[in-house]
Amino acid sequence: MKTSATEELHLAEMEDGDRPVMRSIKRGFLGRCPACGDARLFRAFIKSVDACAACGERMDHHRADDFPPYIVVTIVGHAVLAGYMMTDLVLPLSTWRHLAIWAPVTLASSVALLQPVKGAVIGLQWALKMHGFGGKEDGPEDVLPARDASA
């Protein structure tokens, strides 16, 4: 099958320009509504608003749950480990000095990244019409066959 240079990947039943994924993730990362990009996405540190103040899009049914902390741990863990190893190669520091440097760096960067990453996950869910953003409630995708009692 040949593809032309103008063809684009469309996820699920998305129409052209319906909900661009990268734009929605960027808006969420910046703490803005993924739908309109105007209003704030968070009313507290990591508590999202119930609905957008500008466009009225509901945000209360997102399911970010534990995914943002997993992403933050992965990013911060790699960055801090690389920094620790590079510092250890250049400067012969004691364990306590490394701890005095890298524990605050780890804590500060984790706290700084948590809200933007959660916003990006909410933006991704909105763009892909997941967890109620598509107009239908969450439910099982597949219906399992009835269990055979004789087996």
CA dist 19 and 64 (Å) reads 18
Q: Within 13 A of 47's CA, how many CA atoms are on the CB side?
A: 3
Rounded to two decimals, the pTM is: 0.77
64 pLDDT band (50/70/90 cuts)?
A: confident
State the Cα–Cα distance between residues 124 and 130, nearest whole angstrom: 8
Q: In the prediction, which pLDDT does 138 show?
A: 64
| Range 12-29 average pLDDT | 78
- Rounded to an integer, what distance in angstroms lies between the CA atom of residue 70 and that of residue 149? 41
Are the C-beta atoms of 51 and 33 separated by less than 8 Å? no
Most confident of 12-16, 113-117, 140-144: 113-117
Average pLDDT score, the chain:
85
In the predicted structure, residue 92 carries a pLDDT above the cut 60: yes
Give the residue, 118 or 18, on which the prediction is more confident. 118
**Pair 123, 42: CB distance under 8 Å:** no
**pLDDT of amino acid 149:** 77
| pLDDT on residue 68 | 95
- For residue 74, pLDDT beyond 50: yes
| Rounded average pLDDT over 129-151 | 71
Residues 6+ apart with CB under 8 A from 138: 63, 131, 132
Confidence of residue 14 (pLDDT cuts 50, 70, 90): very low
| CA angle, 8 then 12 then 18, to 5° | 65
